[in-house]
Amino acid sequence: MSSVNKFFDKVFVINLFDNIDRWKNVSTQLKRRKIKVERFVAIDGRCKNQGRTACKQKLKSLELTHNVKINVPRGYKLKEIIPASSLTIGTILLMRAMVKNKWKRMLIFEDDVDIGRNFEKRFKNGIKGLKNKNWDILYLGCGGLCGHKNVEYEKSKSNNKLSTVTKIIGGDEIWLKYKNDLRSPCDICDSVSKYISLAPNPGGTWGYGVSLKGARKILKLIDNQAGQHIDQVYRRECNNGNLNCIAFDPPLIWHQEGYIRTSSDIPWSD
C-alpha cells in the first residue's frame, strides 16, 4: 500500500462519467504507484451547445438538487459559469461527506494530472517533515505563488525551460526545471520544512489534500455559494489567511500540457 493511502483516509479522482480515457490514464498512473483511489463522478455542468434556456434550466436543477446557490458574476456567461460551478458543487459534496464521516484527511485529484518521478519517496519524505504542523490545504502541485524552488526569472543551468504561462500570455519570462510547472517566482513562499513551503496564492486544483478542520472552514467560507471557480475561492482564502495553505516544493504532480489546456472540461479564468 502506498504511503498516500496511509496518510489520507480517502483518495478521490474527479472525472466526468463519459470521459473514460482520462479516467483510464490517471488511474493507470496511480495504480502503477499502488495508490488506491475512488472515482468521484463529476457533476455535469456542460451546456455550451444547448442554448441559453437549457443552461438556465440546468442552473436551477443544480441549485435544487444540491442545495446550493449559483449567482452568475458580472462579465461571465451562463455557459462558462455553470461548468465551473459544477466543479465547485462536486467539491462541496466531498467536503460535506468528509465532515459527516469525520475523515481526518482527504486527497482530491482532477483527471488531467501527470504524476512526477519518484513520487512515493518524495511524498513520504514530505509528510515526515509535516509532523504536527497545522494546515488546511496541502497541495501536491499548484500554480501561482506556491513554493519557491526550481522557478525563477533568470534562465539558469537547472531552470532552463520557459514557462508555458509565459508562452501563452507573455509578461516576464519565467524559467523552470520542469516544463509543465505553472508557478511564478515567490519571495514570500517560505519553507515550512525541507520539502514543504507556504502557498499564499496558489492556482489550480489538480491535486490537493484537505484536513478535516480545513473542510469545515471551506464549507463555511463557500456558504453554499457555488457560482464561483473553486480554485479562485482557494486562491482568495489562502491569500487573505482564512485558509492555511502549504505545498510540496517542488511539486509532486503537474497539470497535463501546462497552461495550454487543449481539452479542459472547466473554463479557466485567472
Q: For residue 240, what are the domain limits?
A: 3-255
Q: Is the pLDDT of residue 167 over 50?
A: yes
Query: In this structure, is residue 127 part of a structural domain?
Result: yes
Query: In this structure, is residue 268 part of a structural domain?
Result: no
What is the per-residue DSSP string for 24-87?
HHHHHHHHHTT---EEEEPP----TTSHHHHHHHHHHHHHHHHT-B----TT--HHHHHHHHHH
Number of domains in the chain: 1
What pLDDT is attached to residue 180? 92
Q: Is the pLDDT of residue 267 over 50?
A: no
Task: With CA atoms as reference, report the closest residue to 253 among 190, 178, 195, 202.
Answer: 178
Calculated CA dihedral for residues 251, 254, 257, 259, nearest 10 degrees: -60
- For position 41, which CATH number holds? 3.90.550
What pLDDT is attached to residue 265? 52
Lowest mean pLDDT among 18-27, 166-175, 260-269: 260-269
Q: Is the pLDDT of residue 225 over 70?
A: yes
Lowest mean pLDDT among 85-99, 135-149, 165-179: 165-179
Q: Are 180 and 256 in contact (CB under 8 A)?
A: yes
Confidence of residue 270 (pLDDT cuts 50, 70, 90): very low
pTM for the model stands at: 0.93
Query: In this structure, is residue 100 part of a structural domain?
Result: yes
Q: Is the pLDDT of residue 266 over 70?
A: no
Query: In this structure, is residue 123 part of a structural domain?
Result: yes
Query: In this structure, is residue 247 part of a structural domain?
Result: yes
Query: In this structure, is residue 130 part of a structural domain?
Result: yes
pLDDT tens digits along 27-48: 999 999 999 999 999 999 988 7
Distance CA 52, CA 57 (A): 9
Distance CA 38, CA 3 (A): 16
Query: In this structure, is residue 262 part of a structural domain?
Result: no
Per-residue buried b or exposed e for 175-210, using 16+ beta carbons within 10 Å of the residue's own CB: bbebebbbbbbbeebeebbebbbbbbbbbbbbbbbb
pLDDT tens digits along 106-129: 999 999 999 999 999 999 999 998
Q: Is the pLDDT of residue 259 over 80?
A: no
Task: Quote the percentage of the chain above a pLDDT of 90.
Answer: 83
